[in-house]
Structure 1
Amino acid sequence: MDAELNRYILMNESKGLVAGYPQSMLDILGNSNIAAVHGSAHKFLRGALLSLVSPQMLRDIVLPRIDRFMSSQLSNWDGKIINLQDHTKEVIFLSIMDQIASIDPASRRADYFKTHFFKLVLGTLSLPINLPGTNYRNGVQVRSLIFFHILVLIDMQMHDNFFTKHRHKHTRTLNINLTLLI
């Protein structure tokens, strides 16, 4: 493409060209997902997401963690014939799960999310026909399961953070209660 045309498109992102997505994607991911909204709503969501990660945090925490993760994953590929496309999808997904939810890539939870996430992706790229056994129907159903399990993860993380923060206080209370019982 011509450099001037690229510049025009990028500078007038919300004025002339608006991205369109399949109806199945909008149905499954919702009309408020970052890919579906445009203009000021998109800028607001993008800003909110980017505010969660500072450049210093990327440099000091995120990138070294990704580097360690990728090194450990790639070391398993020595001397093997692999399907690069399949393994790349899997490694990227597991890396994201490790970064966002601190889920061990070898755990059953990671397998659960991977299986369901790939069903969700298939559903978003399928024809929006809501019949039993279709990829679309599976995607709709899996979205609810993933959402529920994400809420459980958030709840567990909040509980762990609360307990860690107040461990000394709770330990002292537990010791006092045990002393009263004896």
Structure 2
Amino acid sequence: MIGQSFGLLRAMKANTAEKWIEDRVNKYGPVSKLTLFGKPTVIIHGQAANKFAFTSDTLSNQQPQSIQTLLGERNLMALSGEDHKRVRGALVAFLKPEVLKQYVGKMDGEMRKHLESYWEGKQKLTVLPVMKSLTYNIICSLLFGMEPGTRREKFLLSFQYMIEGMWSVPVNLPFTRYNRSIRASSTIQTMVRDIIGEKRLALDKGHASPDQDLITSLLSIHGEGKEAMLSESEIVDNVMLVMTAGYDTSSVLITFMVRLMATDPIVYAAVLREQEEIAKCKKLEDLITWEDLNKMKYTWRVALEILRISPPVFGGFRKTLKDIEFGGYLIPKGWQVFWAANMTHMNESIFPEPSKFDPKRFENQSAIPPYCFVAFGGGPRICPGYEFARIEILVAMHYLVTRFTWKLCGKDNKFSRDPMPVPTEGLPIQIKAKKILRNHLMLGRPVPSPAV
């Protein structure tokens, strides 16, 4: 039941999980067996292993029992074959760039509200929880159409309890983290079903449009026969999946970018220069546009390099559909297959001087061998929310670097995993608002106070 689960979890907590994997590879070779989270498991690593994990039709998605129980059996990470293609296609229909272009302005508006609530007029703040508030509010507004209020606050409390047990030994005993997560998941499912009922009624009455948010988009899918549509259970499970993925991964990446800007003046200067070039051509009230985002090339390369060195998602699981052979070994049917991103991200034959922070690596992404940079997955299983995350990160960084300066408060610049990377104490910083002069003198307008 337990096997090496606690060993891996302890290593993640101590931020030594990469070494834990590396030590196993050095000791047992590129393919080895163990028990993780109650299942017999095989660890594989390397470019061929990544390709095998993301493309093989002999593997199905398989998450630890804890994740599958909390997010439901019909979420995208638990599906394979035609069901995976159908549900993925439904999500991609909403998350593709052509659709997301119309939401850039809304995301800009959410960022401005965030700055007003958490940054303006403040001298200190803790970055990670603040960024989680940002990503949560963006998801509620843009993906689910959930307005601020009591429901959103109740949803957040249950959601935070649920994600605490995502990577835990699945022993459902009272007063355990896993038990509390299960109860929170049940509460969230009930709330999501209520929202779905409201959205369905609004669509039937013509009070909502199919592209209003993710839920209305999923409810509006029509195709050849009922098999093209998503069941209510599939909508519930995948709403919970998208929320979980968007809440943690984006907030962690923004936090790590803030941390980097405070410790690397060269990277900070280059990001600031790029963002100021965009800002100086705009009035203060102008929203970020899709064209502006496409000019933020260096800022996004910085984000990708952070993802290479400290990927929010440490690794993933698959399940064998039949007895299969990999690397000269037979993996029995029903076993878990575990891959870890850092095994190619930190491989010096793929990324020279892998410990060095160098955004230039991503100037020509086509030069990076396939299935070596897997922060967003790969092949048919690449993350459908990639473009959504890019917009979110770039809009946030534009306003942060052009309107504020900051420095770290703590001396400890380390982080642990639980299972996402968590900086020490959540990364407390001292902040100072900049005087915004652009366009106001030229337009004959009064210069706003630094708190604006």
In the superposition, the TM-score normalised over structure 1's length comes to 0.73
Q: Where in structure 2 are the equivalents of 1:64-143 lying within 5 Å?
A: 64-76=105-117, 77-78=119-120, 79-105=122-148, 107-143=149-185
Instruction: Tell me what 2:188 maps to.
Output: 146
Tell me the C-alpha RMSD between the 2 structures.
2.7
Instruction: Tell me what 2:104 maps to.
Output: 63
C-alpha deviation, 1:69, in angstroms: 0.5
C-alpha change, 1:11 and 1:51, in structure 2 (3 Å) is farther
C-alpha deviation, 1:19, in angstroms: 6.4
Instruction: Tell me what 2:257 maps to.
Output: none
- Counterpart residue identity of residue 70, structure 1: M
Q: Percent identity?
A: 24
Secondary structure of the 1:124 match is coil
C-alpha deviation, 1:54, in angstroms: 4.7
Secondary structure of the 2:146 match is coil
CA contact 2:172–2:178 (8 Å) conserved in 1:
yes
- Counterpart residue identity of residue 64, structure 1: G
Structure 1: gaps of 5 or more residues: 166-182
C-alpha deviation, 1:39, in angstroms: 4.8
| C-alpha separation in 2, matches of 1:93 and 1:159 | 25
Q: 1 or 2 for the larger relative contact order (CA 8 Å, sep ≥6)?
A: 2
The structure carrying a bigger helix percent of its residues is: 1
C-alpha change, 1:63 and 1:11, in structure 2 (3 Å) is farther
C-alpha change, 1:104 and 1:88, in structure 2 (3 Å) is same
| C-alpha separation in 2, matches of 1:25 and 1:141 | 14
C-alpha change, 1:40 and 1:161, in structure 2 (3 Å) is closer
Instruction: Tell me what 1:159 maps to.
Output: 201
C-alpha deviation, 1:21, in angstroms: 3.0
| C-alpha separation in 2, matches of 1:40 and 1:160 | 30
| C-alpha separation in 2, matches of 1:125 and 1:8 | 23
CA offsets per residue over residues 113-139 of structure 1, 9 Å max, x none? Answer: 111111111122222111112121112
Number of aligned residue pairs: 159
Instruction: Tell me what 2:55 maps to.
Output: 14
| C-alpha separation in 1, matches of 2:111 and 2:98 | 20
CA contact 1:28–1:143 (8 Å) conserved in 2:
yes
- Counterpart residue identity of residue 14, structure 1: T
The structure carrying a bigger strand percent of its residues is: 2
C-alpha deviation, 1:68, in angstroms: 0.7
C-alpha change, 1:45 and 1:159, in structure 2 (3 Å) is closer
In the superposition, the TM-score normalised over structure 2's length comes to 0.32
Instruction: Tell me what 1:31 maps to.
Output: 73
C-alpha deviation, 1:24, in angstroms: 0.7
Instruction: Tell me what 2:93 maps to.
Output: 51
Q: Could you tell which deviates more after superposition, 38-47 or 71-80? A: 38-47
Structure 2: gaps of 5 or more residues: 1-45, 208-452
Instruction: Tell me what 1:172 maps to.
Output: none
C-alpha change, 1:90 and 1:155, in structure 2 (3 Å) is same
C-alpha change, 1:47 and 1:157, in structure 2 (3 Å) is closer
C-alpha change, 1:67 and 1:149, in structure 2 (3 Å) is same
- Counterpart residue identity of residue 13, structure 1: F
